[in-house]
Structures are given as structure tokens and as C-alpha cells.
Structure 1
């Protein structure tokens, strides 16, 4: 069949809606092309398909030559030289022709090309193999270009602008369901942070998959878990690094697991607590310490009652005008120390509420209201109790002087309590002091004997 060429009015040319080229290029070059066509006509024929039905019947659908037609319109050219292509009667044929013409021309971006290829693949009866054969490209090329269509618009823009390479765009498939990761990849494309971003996002993705798998395993096998803090803060657990054991075998052994931050399970053996049989001496010592603890509970109650009576009795003190600054200073600094100062104050102010249920707003308000009514001497006693006195007097360990600074601290407390309140050491407290003194002396003697034994071994050696 002999090709038919003819001059066609520019007004009768209809732009193809699936034209791969969405950018006509440099406006200056387009203007130069317009001048050339106005003066010499178009030396390369357009390819057009005659439209026989619809609103545009009698006109011609542009298949090749969109840029030349745009230049002709710019230069007010009336008609252009064209080849009639009635054979291009299906969309896939038209797309094939447009791609073959444009694919090697400057200005057709990868995304333009990808859209056209995908449009061909969407045509009935088309496949990757058929499209590759018809536009003379490899099947790998067709698949990679088709994948670009699925990218977010921001990534497509980055590719067409040259900020992102086609190789980089393939990484987006890994994060197709993660819009935050997609946005971050797009933002860092073409920057020095790209490789770091990809590694970090891949690590996060791997961690999520591992965590999900570990959580499912915990559910399926009924694995008992502990926190990371429990694993190292308690001597109940020891890490098991055996890689050959299956999770089922570990569960059967009674092991527990920590779901680590990287998503894997870390396994721990649970140490058996074998109760040590105490000697008669150890049993007697344990009983004595228990009796001391009970005595200290009573001593602490007596001390608190004494302070409460002392503060109550000082209510008869009459403040003088010149005492006002001291009163204000004590009130303002009363609770400037530790956060439990108000909780301790509830124990000696007799305000009818305690902090056992926590320092609620009602408890705080009750303490502050009571303090606002105290006289100077009462404030001084309360301030001394809160800031100069030791806490936890009911605990035996409070009375132990293991180091020199412990003894200094305890002696300072007892001296201050005697000097400020006239309160002597009780029999219960003295028993605790004597107990720890005896124990420290015994420990020192044992240590000295052990050291002497080492020295004898050295001499024998």
C-alpha cells in the first residue's frame, strides 16, 4: 500500500490525549522551530490518524509531531505536511509509534516514557514481551519503566528533575506501604544522606518484621517474657547463647525470653533458688535482727509522737512583730527540699489525713493550710524534723555504720536531736547500734584471719 501524504490545516490537527511528551522543551528552541516552519514548512512529515466518528470526525489525530504542530501554531502556520496513517487504528499501535519516535529524542523523561509503556500494557492482549518487541526494548526495561508509574508524585518529580536515579527509584518498592519512609526517601534523593537513610529505613523495616514474627511466636508457644531491666537487675536469670536450641525446646526447659529492641528474642535460663540451710548461729542472728526491727518500729512511733506533742505544745508561743521575717522564711523553705517532705509532715502535724494513698491535692492542701497557722517555734521544730533528722529510723540498716561517713552522719543526727529536742537514744535504737557494732567487729576479725591465711600460703610458696 502506497503511503499517502498531504497538506493538512493546522486547525484540523487534534493532540493525542496519551502523548508521552508532556513538556515541549526549551521555549527559545520552540520559537526558533516556529520561525523555521513558518519560512520553510515542516520537512519531516507528521503522522496522523484520520478520525471518522465523534465530535472530531473529519479531523486528524496526531500520532507523531506534537512539538512541530505546537511550533506551527506559535508561528501562525496554516497547514503542515503529514502522512496519513489509517493503519494506526488501535491505541496500542498509536502508543507504539509515539514511543518509537520519542524514546531516543531528547526531552522525553523516564516518567513520560513509563506512562506510555504502562498505557500499552493496559491495552487488551498486550504483555511485557509484546510491548518489548514492538518498541525494540528489553523486557527488563519494560518492567522497570512500568514500576515507575507506581511511585508517588514527589518521587516522579525527583526522577524527571535528575535528583533521583532510576536505580534509587527501585528502592521505593521496599517501602510501598510506608508513606513516611517514601517521603523521607524522596526528600533525601540526590543528597549525601541517601545511603544512610536507606540503611536506616531498611533496618527499621527488618526490626518491624522481626518484632512481628517474635510476637507471633510468643503467642503461639505461650512463651513467658520478662523485661530487659529484669534480665540484668535480678540474679534469677542467666543468658543462654546456645544457637542450636529451638524455641520449643527452650520453652520445654522453662526458659523465659526478652523481646529485644532489634526484634529478636533473647533467651534466659531461670536459676533455681536452692534454699541454703542456715546454721544455728545464722538462725539466732536472723531472729535477733527481726526483734531489732520490731523494736525500731516502736521507737519510730514514739519519736513521731514526741515530735507531734512538741509541735502542739509550742502553739502557746507568741510571735513578736520582729519575728515575722523568720516566720515567712521558714514557711517558704519548709518544703523546698525533697518531694516527700510533705508526706513526712503529715505524720507529725496531726492534720487528720495521711499520705498513705499518695500525695493527693487534698493532702497537699491540708498540710499547707496547717503550716500557715504554725507559730515561729512550731515552724522551727517542723523545719528541724524535716531537714535535720534522718528518715527510715524504723529500718535496721539505717543504724548501720559500715563506713566512716555513715558513723559521722548518725552521730550528727543523734547530737542534733538531743540538742534541739532534748531527745535521748532509746533502748531499741541503742540495741540496733550495738548489733551493727558487734557484727562489724566480727566481720573485721574474719577478714583479718583470711588475710593472715593468705600470708601463710605465700610463705609456704
Structure 2
């Protein structure tokens, strides 16, 4: 018997494969169009099947490729389809591998479909990562990564299927499989690249802080530093201790008799000192609105701190490989010569007491014309403005020497940077203030 034979098989004798990795056969409209084509011209591409020899379906054939064609044939009242009978695919592992490869480049075959197929292969007797990689002509890294994402929550898998969560993001998400809240926060911004990077950095920071907190607490207490829990609630009510709001080493904390205030969700020590008995302190009375405004301001400031490295990474990416439209826009803006002494930061040259001009010259010499245009604009217009953008107040300055208005305009319209939620909140914060002032001026005129 030949390993592959071709013949027409009745549609009623074709059985859907329960291991088919493709979950979506397409829209009803697609199936109707295919049904009309099959009724008119037949199936020009053969279905692939294997014979069934056991059970109630013995004598029939299980589909490996052609599930859509079978569904469309039923819809169009087509009696039979041309099929290739694959005697060579005589194990479950071979059949699953064939189905994965056959569907890889087809529409509606998602990364999640591929991942489930890979896991099904790994579950087959005698299969391991190396064997699966070989059967799919893929690398072992691919097999491991696809197997891992099948362990994600249903919410995450749905986003992979919808293409609103990519594989790199999915693999990062695995680290938060035991933290439902963190996963939820990350999934909320999965379709916003910049906000994803900011949120991921924040979640990693908190996770690392929590993991390190027992060791840090033991170290502090071992050195003689008192450790207390950070108070819950939106407003700190300091009565017996007062915060210093400055950074200190453990040695300094011991020397100054400071107290370490910590909380698992706040990745930073707040250093405080005990109040003197003759200096009692009562927290200032604030309205709920003032308390909410203070909390919101703190959240925005923290968001801006996390957004800064994301924005810098974006700009350095533009510099490394400028897009044609960005280069064109920046070329229109360019009017001055480069200041060699201020480009080290953007070239990745570390600061030291006396930057060697030759380092700068050599760095610039390696740049293409397009990269030079971007660098020129970054030096002249980014400069200290990038540092200012971690200060909430700078987002309200549109004119003057300390203004960040023109740089923010360039970021959005010349570079095509998409604001993160934290940055949009800063913009909206001052827009609301301006609107309130304008309303007050209008009332004064009445």
C-alpha cells in the first residue's frame, strides 16, 4: 500500500479531528463563499485524512486538513470531497504536528492555537521539547515559550487570541501568574505599548521589593533600626514620628536614630525620626477633596517617574533606527550645528568628570545621516527638558526658559510619541486648572 492515496470521500464519512489546533473556522460569510465555490468548482485543494480502524467510526476517515471545507460542503450540499489518505501519518504525534504546520500561515490561526497544539504534542507519548521542535522544524525556544503560555489565565489567553497581547508580553506576564491583581492591571494596558512598559516596570519593582523586604527588614533590625508598618489610608497621620523625605543608608539611619517605615505595596523606605515630647503635632485638617487631590498628585508623580525611562527608550529607539517620516519632520526643524559636548547622553556615553571630546566625535562618526538629524534635534530640543518632565510642575509650563511645552509638542507631533496614561493625566491635570482659572476670570467680568 502506498503511503498516500487520493480519492473522493463522502462528506458524511469525514470526522472532525478533536486535536485540531485551529479553533476558528472563519465567519459565516466566509463559509458561504467557500460553499458556493465548492458547489461550482469542487475542492481544488485536497483534504488530508487518516483512516479510522477502531470503534464506532471504523471505516470512516478523520480530518487532518480540510475542516473548513467539510463545514462548507455541508452548507452547500456537496456530497463528497477529494482527499489524500495519509497512511504515513500513523501516530497521534505525527498527525498533530502535520495539523500545526498546515495551519501556521492560515487566517484566524492564532498564537494561542499554535501554543495549544504544541502542548498537545508535548503530551503525546515519547515526545519532549527536542522531538517537538524537530517535528515542527522550529527551535526549542519556540516550543518552550508556546508551552508556557498555555498556563496563563483564560483572560490572558483570550487577549492573545484577539492579538491584543503579544508573545513577548505573554511571557513577561507568566511572572505574575500568582498575582491576579497585577495580571489584571497589566492586561488593561496590553494594547498600549508605552503604558505596558510603565506598568510592567512598576509591577516588577513592587514584586522585587516584596521579595527583598524580609531580608531588608532583618538587615535593618539587625543593625538596630526600628521598622514600622506604613499607615493604611490616603493620608499619613504622623503623631509620634515625622518623615524626613530624604534617602539614607543603613549606617546613616543608625547614626541619626531614624525609623524605617515600610509597606509591601510601596517600594521605598520612608525614613522618619521620633518627635520630641515638647513638639506635639496634629495633622492639618483637610477636606475629602483635598485629600483626594494629594493622593492623585502623588500617583501622577509616581507615574511620571516610571514613564520617564519608557519615553527615553522610545527616543533612543528612534535615534537607532529613524523612520523616514520622523527624519523628514526633524530635518525641517533643524537649524543649528551640533554641540558636541552635550550629545554623550543620547549616544550612550557614560558621564565622567571630563568627557573626552574624541569619544563624542567617534560616536557621531558612526552615525548615518538620518541618525545625525535625530541626534541634532534631541540635543537642541530634548536636552534638560527630558529631566524636567519627571517634575509634575514642568507639565504646566508652556513658555519661558523652564518651559517643556515646545518639547512636548515635538514629542507628540514630530516623533509620534504616544502619551502614557500617567503623562495624559499630567496634561489633563493642568488643562483642568487652566479651565478653572478661565471660568473664574469669566465670573469676574460679570
State the TM-score, normalized to the length of structure 2.
0.52
**Are the equivalent residues in 2 in contact too, given 1:255–1:267 (CA < 8 A)?**
no
Match of 1:157 in 2: 158
Aligned with 2:226: secondary structure? coil
Aligned with 2:8: secondary structure? strand
Aligned-CA RMSD value: 3.3
In the alignment, does 2:211 pair up with 1:203?
no
Q: Deviation of residue 14 (structure 1)? A: 0.6
**Are the equivalent residues in 2 in contact too, given 1:257–1:265 (CA < 8 A)?**
no
Q: Deviation of residue 211 (structure 1)? A: 1.9
**Are the equivalent residues in 2 in contact too, given 1:50–1:60 (CA < 8 A)?**
yes
1:183-262 to 2 correspondences below 5 Å:
183-191=184-192, 193-217=195-219, 221=222, 223=224, 225-227=226-228, 233=242, 241=249, 258-261=260-263, 262=266
In the alignment, does 2:75 pair up with 1:74?
yes
1:323-338 to 2 correspondences below 5 Å:
none
Q: C-alpha distance in 2, partners of 1:27/1:88?
A: 31
**Are the equivalent residues in 2 in contact too, given 1:218–1:224 (CA < 8 A)?**
yes
Residues 246-283 of structure 1: CA distance to partner in whole angstroms, max 9, x if unpaired? Answer: x9xx7xx997752534567789999xxxxxxxxxxxxx
State the TM-score, normalized to the length of structure 1.
0.50
Q: Deviation of residue 196 (structure 1)? A: 2.6
Q: Deviation of residue 136 (structure 1)? A: 1.3
Q: C-alpha distance in 2, partners of 1:38/1:10?
A: 13
Give 5+ residue unaligned stretches, structure 2.
231-237, 275-446
Q: C-alpha distance in 1, partners of 2:171/2:50?
A: 37
Q: C-alpha distance in 2, partners of 1:16/1:70?
A: 13
**Are the equivalent residues in 2 in contact too, given 1:241–1:267 (CA < 8 A)?**
no
Q: C-alpha distance in 1, partners of 2:171/2:102?
A: 26
Q: Which has the larger radius of gyration?
A: 1
Give 5+ residue unaligned stretches, structure 1.
271-461
In the alignment, does 2:134 pair up with 1:126?
no
Q: Do the aligned partners of residues 224 and 103 (structure 1) sit closer, same or farther apart at CA in structure 2, a change above 3 Å counting?
A: same
In the alignment, does 2:177 pair up with 1:169?
no
Q: Deviation of residue 88 (structure 1)? A: 2.2
In the alignment, does 2:39 pair up with 1:38?
yes
Residues 266-323 of structure 1: CA distance to partner in whole angstroms, max 9, x if unpaired? Answer: 89999xxxxxxxxxxxxxxxxxxxxxxxxxxxxxxxxxxxxxxxxxxxxxxxxxxxxx
1:47-66 to 2 correspondences below 5 Å:
47-66=48-67
Q: C-alpha distance in 1, partners of 2:218/2:136?
A: 49
Q: C-alpha distance in 2, partners of 1:93/1:42?
A: 25
Residues 30-62 of structure 1: CA distance to partner in whole angstroms, max 9, x if unpaired? Answer: 212111111222122211111111121111111
Q: Deviation of residue 108 (structure 1)? A: 0.7
Q: C-alpha distance in 2, partners of 1:43/1:7?
A: 12
Q: Do the aligned partners of residues 264 and 33 (structure 1) sit closer, same or farther apart at CA in structure 2, a change above 3 Å counting?
A: closer
Q: C-alpha distance in 1, partners of 2:76/2:153?
A: 37
Q: Deviation of residue 137 (structure 1)? A: 1.5
Q: Do the aligned partners of residues 45 and 226 (structure 1) sit closer, same or farther apart at CA in structure 2, a change above 3 Å counting?
A: closer
Q: Do the aligned partners of residues 240 and 73 (structure 1) sit closer, same or farther apart at CA in structure 2, a change above 3 Å counting?
A: closer
Aligned with 2:84: secondary structure? strand
Q: C-alpha distance in 1, partners of 2:165/2:15?
A: 34
The number of aligned residues is 261
* Higher RCO structure, 1 or 2 (CA under 8 Å, sep 6+): 2
Residues 327-349 of structure 1: CA distance to partner in whole angstroms, max 9, x if unpaired? Answer: xxxxxxxxxxxxxxxxxxxxxxx
**Are the equivalent residues in 2 in contact too, given 1:226–1:256 (CA < 8 A)?**
no
